[in-house]
Structure 1
Amino acid sequence: MHYLSTLIAVAALLGTSSAQVDPRCKVGGGINPFLACRNIQPTPGGTPVYVTTDDTKKCCPAGSCYINNRHFTKNKATREPIREPQEISQTGRQLSFISFPFNRITTFPIRNLTQSSQEHSEQMPQISFFRPSTPPQTPLPPGITRSYIQTPSGPLELLVALPASRNNPPTSPSQNRAADATRIPKRTPLFFAHGGCGSAAVWIPYMQFFSREHQIPCYALSYRGHGASWYPNFLRMFFTRMSTLAEDLARGLAYVRETAGEEVVVVGHSSGGGLVQFCLDKGRVGGVGVGKVKGVALAGSIPGFGSLGVNLNWFFLDKWFLPRMLFKHFGHPMSPLSSTALVKQVFFSPEYPLSSVAQFESLMPRYESFLWPNGMLFRFVNFQNVLKRISGKGHGSRILILAGERDRLVSLDIAKREAEEYRSVFRELAKTNRLKAEVDDVVEEEGESTGCGVQFRVVDGAGHHFMNDLMWEEGAEKLLDFYEQL
């Protein structure tokens, strides 16, 4: 089983503060998470200073500071905040907001997170046999909108992040002339596919990174039983096959291709990466044509040669995997992720705060398909078909394999093997003129490699869910480099 989900930030309500707060930081009596306002105490017990910034490099402006009563220092080499096991006493009641792993986007309402780490690790919020009365809707930050794709089975959630000028079209001739002078060039859309136990919302940090900072239209889909899409009942979802979820993905791709009027670059994470490859291999799923794409990025993806190695990694990571699933949760698909501690162990780097994992859990579905991951257990993709459906160029890379250095499921050896298999097929197709492409040498540098149509990149220190981990931006920048060379 491969499961995922999202998050990006954490809001904490610890009381009220007499400190002066930027009015933009307030919303509904609390801190506005969308402006990434932070309560920074320069010294233990110091007067809270509220900061609003879009600069992710300024996690700790003073180099060393206190955020939510934890001491942070700045590692200038990696630009990542380094936690020290130093706690300080709370001084009075105050509103505070802490953002992990970044201060640009947060998608959660403020909530009391004063429980201890032990309480978080013991809670079991993920197990349910009952369908939610209404699909949960994640609060969205400015610049991202929610729409629905109507399908014969039910509505599918589609999150959309467009560059600013497309979100705010001109309403007068003068505005139109001004827009003409600064018009944003049309760019190829990015389409994001989540993995098991995820939703479109797991991609919010990447969507804002690409749409805000690089004017790239972004779309993210939630399959049935995920996010705000329609929910089958437990048994129906349990027996939902991989091909059925692939049909949802195919409908999303077709809708965005028609809306944007061009091919997309598709990004798939974990089991979602497996679905992307399956759709491209088949070409047509459930009567829906997939068409061609401009490029493919597989992020911590289930490899097309099968997930047996991934499943074994999970099995050896969690010694109680089978006993818990069989005798405690009666075969429930969410059993391997039934506590906050398990979610952190499987999805994130060791440094990721447990309280942030608890927020991440709030977006995870309460049950999942059992047949989806098992449909990927053995080889399920013809790599030749996948490569033929990527338009690409005669030179450069068509596929990006993006791996987390500390991914405990899709480990580096699995990701490297996936890159090598695609390169081998690429060489064969190019040399026999079945693919219009140049065969170049593979260049390796510091554990990464480029050549034969494939880039292999590693996100240093990151776990399986690296688009929501502390080092999320490094992965986004590597994806941007791949996108720009297409």
Structure 2
Amino acid sequence: MPLGPFALQWRAPRQNPPQGYPLPEGILRSYIEAPSGPLELLSAIPAKVSNQTPLFFQHGGFGCAEIWLSFLQYYSSRGIPCYALSVRGHGNSWYQGFWRMYFTTRARFAEDVVTSIEHVEALERKRRGNEEKVKVVLVAHSAGGALSQYILSRGMAKVQGFCMFAAVPGFGSASCYNFWALTAPLHFPYRLFHPRYILANTKQVHEAFFMPSTPTSVVKHLERLLSPYESMLWPMQMIPRVVTGPDVLSSIVGWSPRQFSKAKQHDDSPAGVAPRLLVLAAEHDVLCTPALSLDAAQRYRVAFQDLAGKKKLEGISSGDLRTQREQGSEWDGVAFKVVPGVAHHMQNEVEWEKGAMEVLAWSEQL
């Protein structure tokens, strides 16, 4: 553990917000003038205007909008408008001082996300030249997934679909930190309680976020994008259960029965309900493990069935649901998938297309 706390950054960037690195062709960096300060928004907008539902990507702890660059290019090349946000103290958004950031609450980060979603909705209405309501599909990674569940559970935003992308579950997140349980008590005081005590060097980043076979150059590229320090209060607030299940699903709109041809089903057999919630796990994730993600998906599945049975989801009734036998491994309302051969930061792995393809296939049937 060379250099200890002296290898870490303790001050906000001198240029605030930072200037940022040059972006690939087709990616635009702009700033949202939020009440708190300027927030970085990356966008990839297809040249041809369409009614494709926009995708909104949210990073997790220490992340930023740039971790989604490959995804932004991937979807925009297929005609889908894409946006990615950096919340305060991340990426090229405005930075607050070390100790102020240390005790920043989830509510403050939630304000950044909600302000940005509203901003994107307004941009999309203007771009399309109409006043129709536009709702995004929210794709949220890691702790950003827990934050997004918190936002939806409080009704702070409505979305067309929600993808928990290797996300921390809102039903309690203590087990996400099991990977660090043996080393954290040593690293935390050694690095003077700095928030990046468990991600202070390339080896730590590699072990937590990537496959062992991932090239070091790939790991270093992500390491360069990680924020210098983080809120310690935010993850602590997410350790207890923060959602019930129905509260999150109630903030997802556009539910409707699937439209299958009669050649593929019996006349008296319900078509089922397309899953507007996707829980996507990485096979080799040591933080948000597949087992933990499956548990969250099953809880949401039960919540969906309960809401549908009580007719609390607009456009859905119990008659639209298939029996458990008819559903098999493909559930109504909620989908669960495991992406093989990748780890926690699967959007930054060598084989990032695997996760991108899963999200694309899911979003196309919404």
Q: Residues 370, 458 of structure 1: CA spacing in aligned structure 2 closer, same or farther, 3 A cutoff?
A: same
Matches within 5 A, 1:388-407: 388-394=250-256, 395-407=273-285
Q: Residues 441, 314 of structure 1: CA spacing in aligned structure 2 closer, same or farther, 3 A cutoff?
A: farther
- Paired with 2:187 and 2:249, the residues of 1 have a C-alpha distance of 40
Deviates more, 1:450-459 or 1:400-409: 450-459
Match of 2:131 in 1: none
How far apart are residue 130 of structure 1 and its match? Answer: 1.0
AA partner of residue 39 (structure 2): L
- Paired with 1:186 and 1:123, the residues of 2 have a C-alpha distance of 53
- Paired with 1:255 and 1:443, the residues of 2 have a C-alpha distance of 43
Matches within 5 A, 1:257-336: 257-261=121-125, 262-284=134-156, 290=157, 292-315=158-181, 319-326=182-189, 328-336=190-198
How far apart are residue 442 of structure 1 and its match? Answer: 5.6
- Paired with 2:81 and 2:276, the residues of 1 have a C-alpha distance of 19
Q: Which runs of 5+ in 2 are unaligned?
A: 126-133, 257-272
- Paired with 1:405 and 1:160, the residues of 2 have a C-alpha distance of 29
How far apart are residue 189 of structure 1 and its match? Answer: 0.2
Q: Residues 248, 457 of structure 1: CA spacing in aligned structure 2 closer, same or farther, 3 A cutoff?
A: same
Matches within 5 A, 1:99-118: none
The alignment status of 1:473 with 2:356, answered yes or no, reads no
Match of 1:90 in 2: none
Root mean square deviation of aligned Cα: 2.0
How far apart are residue 411 of structure 1 and its match? Answer: 0.5
The alignment status of 1:439 with 2:311, answered yes or no, reads no
% identical equivalent positions? 41
CA contact (8 A) 1:449 1:455 kept: no
Match of 1:452 in 2: 332
How far apart are residue 304 of structure 1 and its match? Answer: 1.0
* Aligned counterpart for 1:161 among listed residues 18, 40, 44: 44
CA contact (8 A) 1:123 1:339 kept: no
- Paired with 1:473 and 1:280, the residues of 2 have a C-alpha distance of 28
- Paired with 2:3 and 2:82, the residues of 1 have a C-alpha distance of 35
Secondary structure at the aligned position of 1:417 is classed as helix
- Paired with 1:251 and 1:390, the residues of 2 have a C-alpha distance of 18
Q: Which runs of 5+ in 1 are unaligned?
A: 1-120, 166-183, 285-289
- Paired with 2:88 and 2:351, the residues of 1 have a C-alpha distance of 29
**TM-score, with length taken from structure 2:** 0.87
**1:419-463 CA distances to partner (integer Å, 9 max, x unpaired)?**
000000000010111124332356899xx9421211111110110
Match of 2:294 in 1: 416
Match of 1:133 in 2: 14
**1:43-87 CA distances to partner (integer Å, 9 max, x unpaired)?**
xxxxxxxxxxxxxxxxxxxxxxxxxxxxxxxxxxxxxxxxxxxxx
**TM-score, with length taken from structure 1:** 0.66
Secondary structure at the aligned position of 2:330 is classed as strand
Q: Which has the higher strand share?
A: 1
**1:259-312 CA distances to partner (integer Å, 9 max, x unpaired)?**
21311100000011111111111123xxxxx2x211000101010101111012
CA contact (8 A) 1:246 1:279 kept: yes
How far apart are residue 128 of structure 1 and its match? Answer: 1.4
- Paired with 2:307 and 2:109, the residues of 1 have a C-alpha distance of 29
Match of 1:366 in 2: 228
How far apart are residue 126 of structure 1 and its match? Answer: 6.6
Q: Residues 443, 230 of structure 1: CA spacing in aligned structure 2 closer, same or farther, 3 A cutoff?
A: farther
How far apart are residue 382 of structure 1 and its match? Answer: 2.8
- Paired with 2:312 and 2:113, the residues of 1 have a C-alpha distance of 27
- Paired with 1:454 and 1:211, the residues of 2 have a C-alpha distance of 25
- Paired with 2:294 and 2:222, the residues of 1 have a C-alpha distance of 28
**1:221-240 CA distances to partner (integer Å, 9 max, x unpaired)?**
10000011000000000000
CA contact (8 A) 1:225 1:365 kept: yes
**1:9-64 CA distances to partner (integer Å, 9 max, x unpaired)?**
xxxxxxxxxxxxxxxxxxxxxxxxxxxxxxxxxxxxxxxxxxxxxxxxxxxxxxxx
CA contact (8 A) 1:334 1:366 kept: yes
- Paired with 2:237 and 2:60, the residues of 1 have a C-alpha distance of 14
CA contact (8 A) 1:442 1:450 kept: no
Match of 1:223 in 2: 87
- Paired with 1:298 and 1:442, the residues of 2 have a C-alpha distance of 23
The alignment status of 1:249 with 2:131, answered yes or no, reads no
The alignment status of 1:150 with 2:43, answered yes or no, reads no
Secondary structure at the aligned position of 1:451 is classed as coil
Q: Which has the higher helix share?
A: 2
- Structure 1: which 4+ aligned runs deviate by more than 2 Å? 121-126, 436-445
Matches within 5 A, 1:327-366: 328-366=190-228
**1:302-356 CA distances to partner (integer Å, 9 max, x unpaired)?**
10101111012332xxx32211111x11111100001100000000011111122
Deviates more, 1:266-275 or 1:388-397: 388-397
